[in-house]
Structure 1
Amino acid sequence: MSKPKKNILVIRLSAMGDVAMTVPVLNGLCQKYPDIKITVLTRAFFVPFFRDLPNATVFSADVKGKHKGTFGLYKLARELNKANEFYAIADLHNVLRSQILRKLINSKRLVSIDKGRKEKKALVSGSIFKQLKTTHERYADVFKVLGFPVDLSNPVFPNKSDLSKKLQTLLGSDSKKMIGIAPFAAHEGKMYPVDLMRDVIASLSKDYKIILFGGGQKEIDILNNFENDFNNVINIAGKLSIDEELDVISNLDVMLSMDSGNAHMAAMLGIKTITIWGVTHPYAGFAPFNQPDEYALLADRNQFPKIPTSVYGNKYPENYREASRSISPKSIVDKIKDIL
């Protein structure tokens, strides 16, 4: 009788980009250690991110419903303990919720992520300016301590998804190369000005098919205007499930994104990903996976020397709001054309 697989509980509940960044690391873990099992604890919305992982199952946490609050966490832990026997817990989130939860789950081994808060504080205060350990490396460190080192240097990515008839109809059948553009982010200081993005889309749509990504009515309205004003532009925001969006992303030739979740979704699928950086900076460790440094287009630090003003882009001086305006539309278009 074969020994049961060692089951590692991986906790990462939010946010979108952070959850997406776990995927290349977990994929490397699954590829290298086919004799282990992974149970990923995350929110239901993110379950499709893990669809290509071998030996992995996903357990959905309803943190706004039945698993809300301390009592909800007791309930969640009871459900996990009832269904599984965990060899170890890898807490890739390390916030109060996961700290409470891991105390309630049966496992003798626990390792939690070191988020490097001290170094990040030094980076945004201006006392250092250097590349910090990436989030992917910090995730990998957790598994190294557990005895499962992961090599991130030769990643294996899933094959392109087959497009359903619905998606084929939506995207059209011509053979133009497809560029995904995700022009929004959680904070305005991370976004490229809309008028300049219009110039980028106007230029690229002459030769390529542009697929627009976003969410929420305000963003959809802006993207609808782009779609109406230019040929070869398709707005998919609000029209697809997350599973379908991943299918579309896997078929892109390149993705243009802000420092946001869409960049990490594209990168986890092995898509070439160009990022625009405003008040944040790749040195904080949040660059998308396996992308060359030159794919990150940075605001001018001669004009805006306090960059990065914060790790997440939620704090910045008022005159830094449009720091990314210092990146010319032409430089973005040229970079994409070079890659294609």
Structure 2
Amino acid sequence: MTVPVVYSACEAYPTVRFVIATQPVASSLFVNPPQNLTVVGVDVKQRYKGTHGIWRLMGDLRREYAIDAFIDLHDVIRTHIMGVYCRMHGIPMSRIDKGRSEKRELTRETGKNLHPLISTRQRYFDAFKRMGFDFGETFTSVYPTGADTTLFADITKPKSGGERWIAIAPFAKHEGKIYPPGLMSLVVDTLSQRAGTRLFLFGGGGYERDILEEWACEHPHNVTSLAGKRYGFAKELALLSHCDVMLSMDSANMHLASLVELPVVSVWGATHPYCGFTGWHQNPANEVQTDLPCRPCSVFGNKPCQRGDYACLRGIDYHAIVQRLDNVINQR
């Protein structure tokens, strides 16, 4: 979720060098970075492990880049240690306000204070503003002029005229955010029967890979599974940029699609868009959810279902999801 904000900052302040310190796997998300952005992959399991490692990291960053300010966009123990270093060395800093108390009120079992919270995107902007960087939302895509089809040539051939490409990412980190696979398979079956339609399935390894490969085998002519293939963010984002719509849970895939201006139909269960984690410039009309008094019960979907039946997800008719996808496609 940081990419659009950071790229916007770089565009607004071209004479300022911005340095993003993030874990190696996330560093590859910064596709086609602005010239004044440096992305540093930080291995917190080796050289920068533990408190002494984070202290070493700040020393390395200070020597290598002569940093003048520190903006904490994460607000976790590691970044708090980085903040202590900055205070001890006279380096100005600001920190994101995650609104944790507001989110607790939004997700408590009784007496929920149900209203839209400040989006995480806006919280990032506010952290920059407190450091003196005031700018607007200028980011559009990591492929602003379009992604060359050769970037995903080892995944599929270019789209044929009149074809509709639909990306589907049916999994998330926690059960409270996953539309039941049995119901999702009905969505896949329905869409795969349409002429001129191709489906691309996104997921991880293990059981996700097994389920998605099974679906692809059932529809070998127009369903392709990318699960566990490790093509890399650059290739997968290039492919997404040529799709017409993505179906996603409240997961990272929603945000990946947002990096290439791809409309997302998102399915919400234990979590809720009001928590502030919707995708960059995504249309709220494309959010599919049920209206239950227990929702949201969790910010991240990691708590056991209070009812024990995940009615928030099981209660969503798969036809409603298909209809929402059709609405998006027909508007493009």
Q: What is the TM-score with the length of structure 1 in the denominator?
A: 0.88
Task: Measure how far apart 1:250 and its partner are.
Answer: 2.2
Q: Which moved more, 1:282-291 or 1:309-318?
A: 309-318
On the 8 A contact 1:26/1:53 being kept in 2, the answer is: no
Q: From 196, 214, 218, give the equivalent of 1:225.
A: 214
CA RMSD, Structure 1 to Structure 2 (Å): 1.6
Matching residue of 2:95: 112
Aligned pair 1:131/2:116, yes or no? yes
Deviation string 1:123-158 (CA, Å, 9 cap, x unpaired) is 011430000000000000011111111223x54323
Paired residues, number: 315
Matching residue of 1:308: 296
Aligned pair 1:214/2:203, yes or no? yes
Q: From 48, 61, 67, give the equivalent of 2:48.
A: 67
- State how 1:11-160 maps to structure 2 within 5 Å: 21-54=1-34, 55-105=36-86, 108-125=91-108, 126-152=111-137, 155-157=139-141, 158-159=143-144, 160=146
Aligned pair 1:266/2:257, yes or no? yes
SS of alignment partner, residue 153 of structure 2: helix
Deviation string 1:253-279 (CA, Å, 9 cap, x unpaired) is 111110000101111221111110011
Q: Which moved more, 1:167-176 or 1:307-316?
A: 167-176
On the 8 A contact 1:192/1:322 being kept in 2, the answer is: no
Matching residue of 2:192: 205
Matching residue of 1:14: none
Task: Measure how far apart 1:319 and its partner are.
Answer: 2.3
Q: Matched residues in 1 for 2:69 and 2:309: separation?
A: 44
Q: From 281, 284, 290, give the equivalent of 2:281.
A: 290
Over 3 Å counting, the alpha-carbon distance change for 1:285 and 1:174 in structure 2 is closer
- State how 1:269-280 maps to structure 2 within 5 Å: 269-280=260-271
Paired AA for residue 226 in structure 2 = I
> Percent identity, aligned pairs only?
37
**Structure 2 gaps, min length 5:** none
Q: Matched residues in 1 for 2:248 and 2:126: separation?
A: 27
Aligned pair 1:168/2:153, yes or no? yes
Task: Measure how far apart 1:58 and its partner are.
Answer: 0.5
Task: Measure how far apart 1:246 and its partner are.
Answer: 2.0
Q: Which moved more, 1:100-109 or 1:138-147?
A: 100-109
Aligned pair 1:339/2:325, yes or no? no
Q: Matched residues in 1 for 2:104 and 2:67: separation?
A: 35
On the 8 A contact 1:44/1:61 being kept in 2, the answer is: yes
Q: Matched residues in 1 for 2:159 and 2:251: separation?
A: 29
SS of alignment partner, residue 227 of structure 2: coil
Deviation string 1:217-264 (CA, Å, 9 cap, x unpaired) is 211000001101124100011221233222222222111110000101
Q: Which moved more, 1:282-291 or 1:154-163?
A: 154-163
SS of alignment partner, residue 170 of structure 1: coil
SS of alignment partner, residue 308 of structure 2: helix
Q: Matched residues in 1 for 2:158 and 2:140: separation?
A: 28
On the 8 A contact 1:30/1:53 being kept in 2, the answer is: no
Q: Matched residues in 2 for 1:174 and 1:214: separation?
A: 22
Task: Measure how far apart 1:328 and its partner are.
Answer: 1.2
- State how 1:180-199 maps to structure 2 within 5 Å: 180-199=167-186
Over 3 Å counting, the alpha-carbon distance change for 1:161 and 1:174 in structure 2 is closer
Q: Which moved more, 1:226-235 or 1:74-83?
A: 74-83
Q: Matched residues in 2 for 1:270 and 1:28: separation?
A: 15
**Structure 1 gaps, min length 5:** 1-20
Matching residue of 2:224: 234
Task: Measure how far apart 1:332 and its partner are.
Answer: 0.9
Task: Measure how far apart 1:335 and its partner are.
Answer: 1.0
Q: Matched residues in 1 for 2:307 and 2:54: separation?
A: 40
Q: Matched residues in 2 for 1:138 and 1:305: separation?
A: 27
Paired AA for residue 216 in structure 1 = G
Task: Measure how far apart 1:320 and its partner are.
Answer: 4.3
Over 3 Å counting, the alpha-carbon distance change for 1:147 and 1:309 in structure 2 is same
